[in-house]
Amino acid sequence: MKIGINAQGLISGAPCGINTYLRNLIPALSKLDHANDFLLFSSDRIHLEGLEENVTQKSGRKWGSFSLIGFSRLFNENECDVAFIPKETLPLFIKKPVVITVYDLFFIKMYRKFKNQIKLSAKIHYELARLTAFKKATKLCAISTSCKEDLVEICDIDPQKIEVTPLSFDPQYFFPRSEEEIGTIRKKYSITQPYFLNISSIFWDPKNVMGVLKAFRLIQEAGFPHELIMVGKIGPSYSKMQEYIERYNLKVKCLISITVEEIAILLSGAQALVYPSFHEGFGLPIVEAMAAGCPVITSNVSAMPETAGGAALLVDPYQCEDLFEAMKK
């Protein structure tokens, strides 16, 4: 059987989101399944290591939206039997079975609360997926049971159509590091005290970045010597964060350009990962931290308790005092 995979997410090369998902999943699939052939379709050549001989790469013109049209063209030209789509877009002109991975329904569930930071176009994208792609797909892969429950409740999807396929950490990066490695990264970023680590894909309110800062302010005022290291991309809350840090003279460093390797080492040396998001489809940094030997503080909502599996301190993300007490502990 020929399985056509939309590998467009590997074009960017950025180690996050769909890129990370595909970069780890495809080589593993090629090793696990030698009975089938995997064809990777994209609008340009991609570089992916660790592939077996049952994987072939094919590239073609973008054709406007590659996920809608370009992928369909390559899929049909190569006479594939099944389409695997690692995003919420149903390709046009495909009459074979389609499997779609769903990461979360955040943009639908949390739109009202965060509509000042969520683009309306993002909500519309997911509403269209709810009405079309999720309904028409042959199978859906949900990355957590929490995500599956949302698909059933919000999108009225038959539970039998959904397979829960949890995520995992990349063992190439996430493992307990040596004191020498930790010392080197501390020196690079001038970290002289014990530190808490907060990781966000982007600095914005859904990641509860202001809640983290307010809890850390209480830690600092209580006399603890710790620093707070916040990792992420500049987002809608960044200027607000900087104003708060300066106003209360907080010992906080925001690291913008940082590699996966550096994040892994920072996790290995941290007092704890502080990860009190308001919503997560899975919460990959939770298991990455655990793999690196780092204690975890995370939220008691959505998928985070499921991902933590009883091995983290759970807090109410809406209660700053809860987070403060967990950090003290």
Which token pair is 193? Answer: 């005290």
Q: Dump the DSSP string for 18-80.
A: HHHHHHHHHHHHHHH--SSEEEEEESS-----S--TTEEEEE----SSIIIIIHHHHHHHTT-
Nearest partner of 102 among 39, 152, 45, 63, judged by Cα: 152
Rg, the chain, Cα only = 21
Per-residue pLDDT, 64: 67
**pTM for the model:** 0.92
pLDDT tens for each residue of 209-243:
999 999 999 999 999 999 999 999 999 999 999 99
Mean pLDDT of 153-169: 96
- Determine if residue 283 is left, alpha or beta; phi over 0 gives left, psi from -120 to 50 gives alpha, anything else beta: left
Give strand pairing partners of 2: 37
Euclidean distance between CA atoms 309 and 135, whole angstroms = 31
What is the 3-state composition of the chain as percent helix, strand, coil, each rounded to the nearest 5?
Answer: 40, 20, 40
Per-residue pLDDT, 143: 97
Q: How far is CA 126 from CA 51, 109, 141, 148, 222, in A?
A: 32, 10, 16, 15, 43
pLDDT tens for each residue of 123-132:
999 999 999 9
Mean pLDDT of 141-153: 97
For tokens 């698909």, name the residue.
Answer: 151
Q: Is the pLDDT of residue 300 over 70?
A: yes
Euclidean distance between CA atoms 299 and 303, whole angstroms = 9
Q: Are 312 and 272 within 8 A, CB to CB? A: no
pLDDT tens for each residue of 94-106:
999 999 999 999 9
Mean pLDDT of 262-269: 98
Mean pLDDT of 89-114: 94
Per-residue pLDDT, 16: 65
Percent of the chain with pLDDT over 70: 98
Nearest-5° Cα angle at 244, 243 to 248? 115
Nearest partner of 271 among 249, 245, 253, 293, judged by Cα: 293
pLDDT tens for each residue of 6-45:
999 998 755 567 888 998 999 999 999 999 999 999 998 8
Which of 49-53, 137-141, 250-254 has the least mean pLDDT? 49-53
pLDDT tens for each residue of 171-189:
999 999 999 999 999 999 9
Q: Are 266 and 185 within 8 A, CB to CB? A: yes
Return the higher-pLDDT residue of 70 and 16: 70
Per-residue pLDDT, 19: 85
Chain-wide mean pLDDT for the chain? 94
